[in-house]
Structure 1
């Protein structure tokens, strides 16, 4: 297949001199009045023309015009004879020669070779390599989908002109699909694979991990890490803590350096003052002393007040329920902000 042809309008003339059959590689042509001579032709940018398109003398001949010389009639055309299953024949002077649309041109425009197919009927583009079977996977002579890549290393490369940042979408023999952003690692500290819905970011995979924006639903989940003691020879996982509420857990310990100690959830969690109350509601707390010493406590706003024997260590836990606007805006909550557990 070649897409290096030249397309030029209003190119028509007459043979200035007779030409013999066989190997003539140049012909003399007078361009008809009100028509134009071809220009800027070469072996890689050629024009297809037809001699005697009406078949007055005998069957027409298609020639490939690879060069033109002259600034006025007669022009000399450099040609390759007998193209597209036509024969190089002898022609009388005065026969018409015209730039025409041929089946070879249409084949090029249809973009069909043994490894590249565009099906206009179904609007499907297919790309194969030498390792692929002769027919497409559906057994028909057409790609199976709008874009069908059928190769030993199927991949789509996306390269941005700014910085030549390259990203890839590729498939492997084991069924693995890889989406890789910024394969030139030195180029992109902010490289990420993003999933957007209606213009909003929903998932972003970046060098530090994955960020999900919005509600995340799953059937199960764990952390799965290299074993911290045994190393690469074994992995370690724990299941997530789950429940019918969107609970937040705060915990810690404090030494009672007076009979009454106040623990601020914002300060303990390293949050801006007021964040705990803006983020959560209905806090619930437990306090105990490992020594068994009696202790009392009270939760007021973001502060947990603990009363007990001076010098004792108190261990505390506070559980509250999310009430931030982004959580309440999800489809997982009812009008009262409670998690809808059955639906």
Structure 2
């Protein structure tokens, strides 16, 4: 068994698996999760369309959204259109306002589908009573 506290990996590019890779860093989650984020500036009607990489929908499924208005509250801010054709839409904000957004998705590339990680399991008897890391006492 190999254990690792952090790192990166590369996978076949979902739109060109024979010729390119995608490189990502690890996200600590029980799922093989991709995380993308950015900042959108709302237009004159308090809306924005967020463009995602062209390969995003080929790589991930089960999307989750987080929106954070910056500078002032925006109680009516919402995802007005879910991810489709490489973008999603935000509405209900203040014109000119900046909105921090985050989208997560579960990897659906062939390797991920065939190699889901079991979340919980017992340590073998030879490792019981031990920890992978024990900080030095203060």
TM-score range with shorter-chain normalisation? Answer: 0.5 to 0.7
Higher RCO structure (Cα 8 Å, ≥6 apart): 2
- Over alpha carbons, which structure has the higher Rg? 1
Alignment check: 8 A CA contact 1:289 1:315 kept: yes
Alignment of 1:154-303 (within 5 A): 218-222=2-6, 241-259=27-45, 260-266=47-53, 273=54, 275-290=55-70, 291-294=72-75, 295-298=77-80, 299-301=82-84, 302-303=86-87
For residue 325 of structure 1, what is the aligned residue in structure 2? 110
Consecutive unaligned residues of structure 1, counting only runs of 5 or more, are 1-216, 224-239, 267-272, 334-338
Alignment check: 8 A CA contact 2:66 2:101 kept: yes
SS in 2 for 1:326: helix
Alignment check: 8 A CA contact 2:41 2:96 kept: yes
Cα distance in 2 for residues equivalent to 1:284 and 1:218: 30
SS in 2 for 1:277: helix
Cα distance in 1 for residues equivalent to 2:4 and 2:56: 28
User: Considering only aligned residues, what root-mean-square deviation do their CA atoms show, in Å?
Assistant: 2.1
Cα distance in 1 for residues equivalent to 2:78 and 2:31: 27
Cα distance in 2 for residues equivalent to 1:222 and 1:276: 23
The offset of 1:222, in angstroms, is 3.8
1:341 aligns with 2:124: no
Cα distance in 2 for residues equivalent to 1:221 and 1:340: 17
1:315 aligns with 2:95: no
For residue 14 of structure 2, what is the aligned residue in structure 1? none
TM-score by length of 1: 0.26
The offset of 1:219, in angstroms, is 2.1
Alignment check: 8 A CA contact 1:293 1:312 kept: no
Alignment of 1:89-168 (within 5 A): none
Cα distance in 1 for residues equivalent to 2:31 and 2:6: 19
TM-score by length of 2: 0.61
Pair 281,315 (structure 1): closer, same or farther in 2 beyond 3 Å: same
Count how many residue pairs are aligned between Structure 1 and Structure 2.
97
